[in-house]
Structure 1
């Protein structure tokens, strides 16, 4: 009869005591293998070190190990780090005592220690390797891999219990005939992973449970794909209403709702594409740039948006507005509820800022750029150092207090420059260039250390990118300084500058456009707690900063993708798109980033990735959330991942490196409503198509001649029915705006297509329905094209005749040689 092992009779307690007493002798026996390991040659040790770089712990459920929340009574050797929680530990113990009860007293005394050790290997942090379960598509073996010497001892003392551990007739029959063959069958090819060698290997047990590092000291992480097919996703945020929905905004003005199960709602939460100013030009910094939900959104339904507009006389502005959710649909904004609270003129097309967030104080923080161009050339000191200008600032306003007639917000009573008659009262901090992505630190889950700090990434000019922590009244140096160095010599040596240096800055050898991130405070990857994780848009590099709480300094820790073995868990990938647009945090504190392979507001090449630590997870059940139900009125599109884990080898890559794009700083001022919002279709809207492979260098000339059409040749031609391009990243420019977003087509109106010429914008108008031409003109045009086609052939023939004597002379010379 099966009983709970911890409620067994008194003899079981005595038996457990004897097992604990016998444990030291077993550990002494294991150490007998250590001298053999120490005699390995130097070359083998190098191989072991190389292997250790890719070795990783893994459980039988194909996930990383963890530290149990509670004490393990039976397999206690793995209670600091392993693959068993209290429930699994009790299950193993129950099976163990059921087997022990079936044995005679002599068999119990002989086998009980070894049996416990073997059965507890399910709790080992390397259980997946011991049971040959790294591949989820292959069956898990019933017995763990035992080293040959240990297997021989186990066979001699516990052969009679094998029938309770495995149902394999082959193993059972072999165990009765030949111990050598039996142990060879359950041994592992890699002797480091077989038990008990796995306990004595220094490479497998050093820093166990910490974030894996490659030989360069780079922290290895993995990713999961969360969403794809997005057109320059500029932000992702949650509403803080316990529904755990995610709102993803595209640069062109759409905001989509993603549910906790990964599905996307058919209708957008918000559609401002008719108002937002943006273009398909690569690197256009204008568009829908920021959004923040009110801290009490669950009760009042208020949220705030930040976007670029163009008014009469081609004046460009940034607009900050308040809106409300629809009273009848929690997944749609009320399009008639917009209330403009602030508009600021933008003298140039770049450096538009774009961050909105609410601080722990409940006030709304607005982050503006310095106005654009280069070097902040506006006025004697520039906009950033001019406290009477709203550009190049961190603004703080109160959007909750009732305002007098004509005022759209109030000024917090503790704003730092209220007594300065030359300063705008909204200014909270100044001296910023173009802060792209800021975040509020949630604080340590236990101690709350760091709670409320605001981190920002400030994009540099020519030399440095920087990370800042925003404080009240702070001057962050621009344009006097860039990073830690002087930019404007006169301003830099001004005694009244009193600037706050960044906590970290890096040169343009590493990256040229910082993307601010978050301090990780989630539950699922405890090793990442306290790391400020950010990236660079241009280089695609992901970095982390680790704080020294005693000195207040920050140390850089580079983050890289794990290799194929490290990220072998189901659903994980080890690569991402190069252009990192933004970072995000969900309602539970887990960390994401948004990236694209083609940084155009019209290209559906954007993907959302989630960080996963492959070396350690939280205990099962600790991170469970209970989201509130979401009432869905329309259709839902299930998520379909596109990315897979890449096999990393030392060979040269078969695919060319990612293309580099020249980013324009002043694209044409065209409205952003060129592509309508996707509303129908069966697949996920904006699903990215497989990227077409670029031709090899030696084949470029041949393939260029065979292309169905060439943009340069067709620059001044009007095509009636241009052939389709296969590259989905350029599809928005080549066809009459047919996006792979559920079968939606734009109207048959003319579409303006911009070229990437460095001399300035050039456009070409393509009509899907051209006017009919007269037969005479058509015939004349066709005859001319035939003449043009024959002319090059005649020229080539004459040229060959002229070169014929020289060619014959060369052939004679070669024959002589």
Structure 2
């Protein structure tokens, strides 16, 4: 999650300045791009910044490590582009703000307060940053000064849409009653305190439930405690989970026959050039990190902790550390002997390629980025011989040697979650850029439009990507498949995919697909029988009660970004949890407001 881009989205609620304010250095720099004309300072002279080759080289390295996932110098991506930042503020103000942004805000600095009011977040103090490092970063940023980029091609698209989805989300009239179950172990001293992400019940005749922390730990939930089952850092020394933004232990999936074969699958991130990649690109494009899919063989499937060996199935280079391989899963409804049984689905994001001038990586149908793959992990007819290509994949029978036969469907920015409804409908959530969030019906061979579409709108990846346009009159010729659910950033900033409720605690919710927004923590629902490709289902909002009292996840976490996630445990028990504070809640009922 992606992903700190959320700090740049407008939130309809005004968030009071908290004692702890969190934004990475990269996002801080982007904040200086905005502000009223009367607050703009004189253009900084070149002599304010180092210009020697050694400082620029060091600054570039530090920028790539800390900033490039969110920013570049020509395009707004996760955060604003930095092309004019050193021309908009003085070097002294910039350094002072970097050193201690909370203090500058608290002292009432007009620019600082304006930026906080606009973005609802600020970064923590960076007083620990060495002067030489800060000078090098700012020197490199200044060396990349560019005039604002024109919206190339917009004359053909018409005016941008100021409110892509004008209809708001109506109240459902229902309140979900939540019971706090536990707090996950803190794996950091800064927010998010616990990067708890995906919950899964071990398949087969099992009563075991698992939950992973993206910093590298897979837990088993036992009552109201979490016990360590597996540590990826202990198994893979090249494992990295910094600087966050969805890096780390991305996802995991037990083979449907795990109790018999002991096979478990994970995705995780490693340093650049840790090993040769199966999916790479031209050397002229940077590699931010690598995503690795591993098959693990548990020696004793009934054991309380993992003990065994792993083998690498595939490795993917990524332009940045965002939009990676954050989902792997098996179809839980597939039965032995059916074509989908044991086939592993893999959601591969665009890696930030689109907003970093490499949109062709995900647009090309024969490249891995921006796709959902489907493989047979027990097969061997792939190019690297480590896994199989299912014969019923949509492109498996192609005779073109360039065809990427692993592809199941394509056209995604960040296919963050994959799930199935009880009637067998496949659902793929896609976290959007700056305008639209979407939930799609997964269909073999379908193209969902990215980077030409965001939701049911045109996006101009050659120009400015912070706006969208109406579909053209001849749009049917594009043959894109559009979402079953979408909402714009009046309602939230990043979709947190969920599940169809099948539990017994809240009969009024049965048959509803329950999901929400990662950032503001609002909880939504739609009728699952309305989930049809291209026909947007009607969303409704569920209010929240904890201990019988109305509340919100922003209040519960005491933070603007809640990092809300959803999971299903034993017997259809429905869970909601927040990475920000590591709190885990169980849905204990539903009642009229």
The CA distance in 2 between the partners of 1:487 and 1:315, in whole Å, is 25
For 1:138-537, list aligned pairs within 5 A. 216-230=171-185, 231-259=194-222, 261-265=223-227, 267-272=228-233, 274-279=237-242, 281=243, 284-312=245-273, 316-327=289-300, 330-334=303-307, 336-359=308-331, 360=334, 361-362=340-341, 363-375=343-355, 377-379=357-359, 382-401=360-379, 407-420=385-398, 421=400, 422-441=402-421, 443=422, 450=423, 452-488=424-460, 496-537=477-518
> SS of the residue aligned with 2:260?
helix
Asked whether the equivalents of residues 561 and 574 of structure 1 are also in contact (C-alpha less than 8 Å), the reply is: no
- Quick one: distance in 2 between partners of 1:412 and 1:482? 30
Q: Which residue of 1 aligns with 2:157?
A: none
Tell me how many residue pairs correspond in the alignment. 378
The residue aligned with 2:544 is 561
Deviation at 1:495, TM superposition (A): 6.3
Q: CA deviation at 1:567?
A: 7.8
| Distance change (3 Å), C-alpha of 1:489 and 1:348 | closer
Tell me the distance in 2 between the aligned counterparts of 1:237 and 1:389.
Answer: 30
Distance (Å, rounded) in 2 between the aligned partners of 1:581 and 1:294: 27
RMSD of Structure 2 on Structure 1 (CA): 3.2
5+ long unaligned stretches in structure 1: 1-214, 444-449, 598-604, 617-647, 649-817
Which string of whole-angstrom CA distances, capped at 9 and with x for unpartnered residues, describes residues 110-158 of structure 1?
Answer: xxxxxxxxxxxxxxxxxxxxxxxxxxxxxxxxxxxxxxxxxxxxxxxxx
CA 1:405–1:471: 2 relative to 1, 3 Å: closer
Find the aligned partners of 1:219 and 1:509 in 2 and give their Cα distance. 21
Between the aligned partners of 1:430 and 1:316, the Cα distance in structure 2 is 22
Write the deviation string for residues 632-667 of structure 1: whole angstroms up to 9, x where unpaired.
xxxxxxxxxxxxxxxx9xxxxxxxxxxxxxxxxxxx
In 1, the alpha carbon distance for the partners of 2:504 and 2:261 equals 29
1:633-672 to structure 2, matched below 5 A, reads none
SS of the aligned residue for 2:362 comes to coil
1:397 Cα deviation after fit = 0.4
Larger helix proportion, structure 1 or 2?
Answer: 1
Distance apart, 1:373 and its partner CA:
5.0
Deviation at 1:418, TM superposition (A): 2.6
Relative to 1, partners in 2 of residues 1:216 and 1:408: Cα closer, same or farther, differing over 3 Å? closer
User: How do residues 401-800 of structure 1 correspond to structure 2 at under 5 angstroms?
Assistant: 401=379, 407-420=385-398, 421=400, 422-441=402-421, 443=422, 450=423, 452-488=424-460, 496-547=477-528, 554-562=537-545, 565=548, 576-577=556-557, 579-597=562-580, 605-615=581-591
Change (3 A) 1:315 1:508: closer
Larger Rg: 1
Which whole-Å CA distance do the structure 1 matches of 2:503 and 2:301 have between them? 33
Calculate the TM-score normalised by the size of structure 2.
0.58
State the Cα deviation string for residues 288-311 of structure 1 (Å, max 9, x = none): 110001111111111100111114
Taking a change above 3 Å as real, the CA distance of residues 383 and 497 of structure 1, as seen in their structure-2 partners, is farther
The alignment's TM-score, normalised by the length of structure 1, stands at: 0.43
> In structure 1, the residue corresponding to 2:363 is in which secondary structure?
coil
Structure 2 residues without counterparts, runs of 5 or longer: 1-169, 186-193, 275-286, 335-339, 463-468
Shift of 1:550: 11
Measured in 2, the distance between the counterparts of 1:540 and 1:470 equals 25
Q: Is the 8 A contact 1:433 1:478 kept in 2?
A: yes
Instruction: Point out which structure has higher relative CO (alpha carbons under 8 A, 6+ apart).
Output: 2
> For the residues of structure 2 that align with 1:328 and 1:559, how far apart are their CA atoms?
39
Superimposed CA distance per residue, residues 374-416 of structure 1 (whole angstroms, 9 cap, x where no aligned partner)? 547325xx33321111010000001234659951111111111
How far apart in 2 are the matches of 1:350 and 1:518?
Answer: 24
Q: Distance in 2 between matches of 1:576 and 1:400?
A: 44
Does the Cα contact within 8 Å between 2:495 and 2:516 map onto a contact in 1? yes
Flag the structure with higher strand content: 2
**Cα distance in 1 between the residues matched to 2:531 and 2:325:** 33
